[in-house]
Amino acid sequence: MSFANLEYMSTGQRPTMRPWQYKLHSIIFESNTFYGKLFDIALLACILLSVIVVMIDSVPPYHAKYADIFYAIEWVFTILFTAEYILRLFCIRKPMAYALSWMGIIDLCAIIPTYISLLVAGTQYLLVLRALRLLRIFRIFKLWHFLDEGRFLLEALAKSVRKISIFMLFIVIIVVILGSCMYLIEGASNGFNSIPESIYWAIVTITTVGYGDISPVTPLGKLLSCILMLCGYGIIAVPTGIVTSQMMAEWRNKHISDVQCKSCGKWNHEKDAKYCRYCGASLGE
Amino acid sequence: MSFANLEYMSTGQRPTMRPWQYKLHSIIFESNTFYGKLFDIALLACILLSVIVVMIDSVPPYHAKYADIFYAIEWVFTILFTAEYILRLFCIRKPMAYALSWMGIIDLCAIIPTYISLLVAGTQYLLVLRALRLLRIFRIFKLWHFLDEGRFLLEALAKSVRKISIFMLFIVIIVVILGSCMYLIEGASNGFNSIPESIYWAIVTITTVGYGDISPVTPLGKLLSCILMLCGYGIIAVPTGIVTSQMMAEWRNKHISDVQCKSCGKWNHEKDAKYCRYCGASLGE
Amino acid sequence: MSFANLEYMSTGQRPTMRPWQYKLHSIIFESNTFYGKLFDIALLACILLSVIVVMIDSVPPYHAKYADIFYAIEWVFTILFTAEYILRLFCIRKPMAYALSWMGIIDLCAIIPTYISLLVAGTQYLLVLRALRLLRIFRIFKLWHFLDEGRFLLEALAKSVRKISIFMLFIVIIVVILGSCMYLIEGASNGFNSIPESIYWAIVTITTVGYGDISPVTPLGKLLSCILMLCGYGIIAVPTGIVTSQMMAEWRNKHISDVQCKSCGKWNHEKDAKYCRYCGASLGE
Amino acid sequence: MSFANLEYMSTGQRPTMRPWQYKLHSIIFESNTFYGKLFDIALLACILLSVIVVMIDSVPPYHAKYADIFYAIEWVFTILFTAEYILRLFCIRKPMAYALSWMGIIDLCAIIPTYISLLVAGTQYLLVLRALRLLRIFRIFKLWHFLDEGRFLLEALAKSVRKISIFMLFIVIIVVILGSCMYLIEGASNGFNSIPESIYWAIVTITTVGYGDISPVTPLGKLLSCILMLCGYGIIAVPTGIVTSQMMAEWRNKHISDVQCKSCGKWNHEKDAKYCRYCGASLGE
């Protein structure tokens, strides 16, 4: 680590960037140049490959045969990603901002589990967290317009969050009370071993998943399940209605122009408005 | 119980409130003061804790070990909530109105099961009804705006209630008839023991829950199930459509006024508009 | 059967109605008078009771004990409903029109199975068809406004029928092809005994019912199921979208006035229109 | 193959069409004439029959008894369809364009599996690909208006494809990460044999299918499943919201023109409007 970097640690911003840092920055962080593109595609391929290796490693017959090879590949990828992470820190003006950004944290999560697995066995499977790095696909292939759509979705969801959280609270209360009733009605002999397990059953039922590992046996229990099922079938309409109406409101907002009334300074006029709806002044002038 | 309270019993309204009653009222019913806030948060914590204790108590291994401790805790909470309930009655101007309000009934339900469990074993699990008291979360944290959203949801649901109840009547009739047909086709040897049980199966199928505790065996039975499943898959669209269109109508009603511009005759002005957005004439005249 | 009725058989309309026929008609078909109301409520109670009796009769323990009683009750109800059916035919001006109307056919279906059960055993369970008679609830309690809502639902569904039938055709083709692929991949040893059974499995999967009586075992089969599941999860949006947008269009149509342009004779003007959009003539005059 | 056809192979267009080719073309490709209609209906019947034969052939008891008959029928249909395919190539002006069109490829897929089954056993079940030929139903019965509705659906879906693919990417990432967590929590002893299998379970759960072939056993696993289920139950609203709002935008675009009245400045006129519905001025100028 250079002296400049140590100085940076206190000021939060790297004082100067050497030419090779600029060069590296353009390769790693940008994808305009040929080498930049090459790096990005290679990186994406590495991420995909490493996730697939972790998955296959967990399949017993393959693990039995090729455990050593997978272990080696895992370390190769981990060292590669570690090198990439350190390089990223080295060639950016504000390394701390990157390290604390979502992308920086995800990049760190993609390498830590291998090191931890030296101490605690089994954690190497957490390497599937590397799947999160696939979100880079948007940045790498310049799929900004895709992200724009995603932002539209997230905004609509974010604005529905209140309504949906109330809805979820009601679901939780229904599920706690009906789950407990089922525990009283069916009892441990029919698989409803405890209230938490009965609540698990109630969630399995109200969400229409229906594993069938626990299912009602007594007539009264079956009656209550029927109510719970019809309930779950009917109220699925509620989050759907919330999100749909929110999306259409969002869509409508797209039809709001960004013209400001020169007379009263108010915004939010519709695209086809000619006069300010607050003061009546003409908008077109 | 004071003489004033006895007198109240006939008139329905407490004649006078003593200073300590005012003091207590502000602590228990309001949350502006420091003690009021403290009381509310402590109450919420007690509710959550007591519900969790009831749940854990039902898990066999924990029940085997700590049954006595849980029993004690249960009584502590019950006595606390009983005291709180009596205090609430004592420091409000109209105790009867409170006792008969939704909140009052829920508060009573939260303490009664323990007393009943002295007479009838097993009813202590009904204490999960205390979960309903969690609805206080809205009042305590002044989440009125959340409740406002909830009211919006409830209104949209209430206005859809007719359409949804017709929809439910059709589902019930379909389910009764197809369930009976399956009873004739499959018979008791394939798990369809009786018509009520076959109707239970039909509900499990049409709501797409699909436990698999009963499933068709004969070819004809499988064919009929396929129809029922496709039916259930398709008509989920109906309640969704009802609620969504209702919500959008609500949303529109909230935003669009029914004022017509006297100058150009245009409708569809937003509720906060003061001037016509087409001709600029004042809408207020 | 009177001579007048025989004559009617050829002309299709009863020539005259005797006073007692008018009287009976007002009791059976109308519910303005006290006796009319009484008859309707008694009828509804009988329908409900008879359906419940058929259901309970199918439960083995009750059937073992009370089969004779149930059999007797069944015949009592059948004779009652038969008498009612004959009376309806007798006191209406156009008996044939009634017999061929939906209500008439349903009324007939409610009595026939008992008579058939004398010839073919087991058909008495078809008596649950009487559940369809519960639709009378709308007529009896003058729930016309409910029916109005129902008509709104049916209209929206009817107008979506083309889109939904195309959607269903696609589902059927997907299900046939993927079902057959699964038959080739999994084979009879894993429960996929034949192509029809594999198609049944595919429908169970795509509709998200998921009994679990047949489930994929091989890795390739699991991969294909995942695609089918995600498919079914995603395209549920299509019928929902169709019905919702149709409902909103319906709702919008309610905002179409029934004013006809006096100049060009065209309809379909919006409620807020002042001038015909086809010829420009004023609508208000 | 005639000389003209050989010449065509290089130029991509048949130079001349003989009279019998015109005649055949009108029978096979058109359905205006009596023979054209007859051919089309016979073809559709053959397709349906051949698909049904393949299905029934796969049912073990029928296969045991009638395998030879089914084999013969299969070859009859294959030869018929082969003849039809060759005739189609012979009597069209641009055979290559037909062979490479969707319909041409589907027609080829409907005959190839039988020939391949001579080399590789078992592939004859791929003949269900003939089901795709049922799409001809639209063309044959001139159900263009149905196709028009289908196009509407496809357009709405195509425009939603970006949003839905982002949504699917998120689902895949959630499913990979939660599936791996479940593998760590539950382990092979509870049926979660490997990460790919756990991901399969996660998809079964999030899509609310819920076979129950694998289901969580440990308390922590059950808690995580509950989150996954509620997740899947809630986010079904997202694709629904996307498709519905897209469909309504499509619908609006189809009906509302973007013409502004020059006289009163009003927008939102329907596509078939000739005069402004607010001021009566002509819109066409």
Same domain, C176 and C135: no
Its sign, for the CA torsion A8, A12, A16, A21, is: positive
Which DSSP letter does residue B38 get? H
Determine, for residues D211 and B212 on separate chains, whether the beta-carbon distance falls below 8 Å.
yes
Highest mean pLDDT: which of A155-159, A264-268, C88-92, C198-202?
C198-202
Same domain, B97 and B184: no
Domain final residue pick, C141, C169, C202: C141
Asked whether the beta carbons of D203 and C229 are under 8 A apart, the reply is yes
Q: Among candidates A208, C125, D207, which has minimal Cα distance to B205? A: A208
> What token pair was written down for C87?
């009376």
Q: How far is CA C249 from CA A255, B234, C157, D124, D251, in A?
A: 20, 19, 12, 47, 9
Work out the number of other CB atoms within 10 angstroms of the CB of residue A112.
15
Q: What angle do CA C130, C136, C137 make, to 5 degrees?
A: 110
Residues 210-269 of A with CB under 8 A from B: 210-212, 215, 219, 222-223, 225-226, 229-230, 232-234, 236-238, 240-242, 244-245, 248-249, 269
Identify the pLDDT of residue A245.
Answer: 79
Any CB–CB contact under 8 A between B148 and chain A?
no
Longest Cα separation, chain C: 79
Residues 162-201 of D with CB under 8 A from C: 164, 168, 171, 196-197, 199-200
| Positions in chain B whose pLDDT score sits under 50 | 1-7, 285
Same domain, A123 and A223: no
Structurally, how many domains does chain A consist of? 2
Residue D149 lies in a domain: no
Which residue of C51, C150, C247 is in closest CB contact with B241?
A: C247
Which DSSP letter does residue D13 get? S
Work out the number of other CB atoms within 10 angstroms of the CB of residue C139.
14
Residue C71 lies in a domain: yes
Asked whether the beta carbons of C201 and C217 are under 8 A apart, the reply is no
Determine the distance in angstroms separating the CA of B229 from the nearest CA of chain C, rounded to an integer: 6
D131 or C100: which carries more pLDDT confidence? C100
- D chain contacts of residue B210, beta-carbon cutoff 8 Å: 209-210
Same domain, A126 and A225: no
- C chain contacts of residue A208, beta-carbon cutoff 8 Å: 208
- D chain contacts of residue A150, beta-carbon cutoff 8 Å: 163, 166
Determine, for residues D244 and C249 on separate chains, whether the beta-carbon distance falls below 8 Å.
no
Residue C142 predicted with pLDDT over 70: no
pLDDT tens-digit series, residues B49-96: 888 888 888 888 898 899 889 889 988 998 999 998 998 888 888 888
Same domain, D53 and D13: yes
pLDDT tens-digit series, residues C218-239: 999 999 999 999 888 878 888 8
Which residue of A169, A195, A238 is in closest CB contact with B125?
A: A195
Same domain, A121 and A188: no
How far apart are alpha carbons A18 and A31 in whole angstroms? 20
Residue C256, strand partner residues: C270
Q: Among candidates C138, D97, A274, D239, which has minimal Cα distance to B281? A: A274
> What is the signed CA dihedral for B99, B102, B108, B110, rounded to 10 degrees?
-160
Same domain, C177 and C117: no
Query: What backbone phi and psi angles, to 5 degrees, belong to B270?
Result: -70, 155
Residue C101 lies in a domain: yes
- Residue position matching structure tokens 């929902």: C240
Identify the pLDDT of residue C3.
Answer: 46
Residue A53 lies in a domain: yes
Determine, for residues A54 and D195 on separate chains, whether the beta-carbon distance falls below 8 Å.
yes
Neighbours of chain C (3+ CB pairs under 8 A): A, B, D
Residue B278 lies in a domain: no
Same domain, C127 and C166: no
Query: What backbone phi and psi angles, to 5 degrees, belong to A280?
Result: 85, 0
ipTM exceeding cut-off 0.95 for this assembly: no
Identify the pLDDT of residue A1.
Answer: 42
Which residue of D210, D211, D266 is in closest CB contact with B278?
A: D266
C17-23 contacts at long range (C-beta below 8 A, 24 or more positions apart): C17/C91, C17/C93, C21/C90, C21/C91, C22/C91
Categorize the per-residue pLDDT at A200 as very low, low, confident or very high, splitting at 50, 70 and 90: very high
pTM of the model: 0.82
C254 or C18: which carries more pLDDT confidence? C18
Asked whether the beta carbons of D257 and D277 are under 8 A apart, the reply is no
Determine the distance in angstroms separating the CA of C58 from the nearest CA of chain D, rounded to an integer: 30
Instruction: Give the nearest chain B residue to C157 (CA atoms).
Output: B238
Instruction: Give the nearest chain C residue to A59 (CA atoms).
Output: C219
> What token pair was written down for C37?
């109301």
Categorize the per-residue pLDDT at A107 as very low, low, confident or very high, splitting at 50, 70 and 90: confident
Residue B70 lies in a domain: yes
Residue C4 predicted with pLDDT over 60: no
Residue C143 predicted with pLDDT over 70: no
Residue A223 predicted with pLDDT over 90: yes
| Positions in chain D whose pLDDT score sits under 70 | 1-15, 122, 135-153, 252-281, 283-285
Determine the distance in angstroms separating the CA of C124 from the nearest CA of chain B, rounded to an integer: 10
Highest mean pLDDT: which of A53-67, B24-38, C128-142?
A53-67
Identify the pLDDT of residue C12.
Answer: 56
Same domain, C87 and C136: yes
Report the CATH number at residue C221: 1.10.287.70
Which residue of C208, C212, C240 is in closest CB contact with A208?
A: C208
Q: How far is CA D203 from the centre of its chain?
A: 23
3-state secondary structure C38-92: HHHHHHHHHHHHHHHHHHHHCCHHHHHHHHHHHHHHHHHHHHHHHHHHHHHHHCC
Under 8 Å CB-to-CB from C209, ≥6 apart: which residues? A210, B205, B208, B209, B210, B229, B232, D209
Backbone conformation region of residue C153, classed left if phi is above 0, alpha if psi is from -120 to 50, else beta: alpha
Would you tell me the crossing angle of helices A34-57 and D195-206 to the nearest 10 degrees? 90
Same domain, B20 and B107: yes
> What token pair was written down for C29?
């078909």
Rounded mean pLDDT of A44-50?
86
Identify the pLDDT of residue A199.
Answer: 92
- Residue position matching structure tokens 């193959």: D1
Identify the pLDDT of residue B228.
Answer: 92
Any CB–CB contact under 8 A between B278 and chain D?
yes
Residue C72 lies in a domain: yes
Identify the pLDDT of residue C161.
Answer: 78
Identify the pLDDT of residue D45.
Answer: 87
Residue A268 lies in a domain: no
Identify the pLDDT of residue A253.
Answer: 63
Instruction: Give the nearest chain A residue to B171 (CA atoms).
Output: A230
Same domain, D128 and D25: yes
Any CB–CB contact under 8 A between A79 and chain B?
no
Same domain, A134 and A173: no
- D chain contacts of residue B209, beta-carbon cutoff 8 Å: 210
Residue C285 predicted with pLDDT over 50: no
Rounded mean pLDDT of C53-82?
89
Q: Domain range spanning residue C189? A: 159-255
The amino acid at residue A193 is: N
H or E element, residue B9: helix B3-11
Report the CATH number at residue B36: 1.20.120.350
Identify the pLDDT of residue D35.
Answer: 86
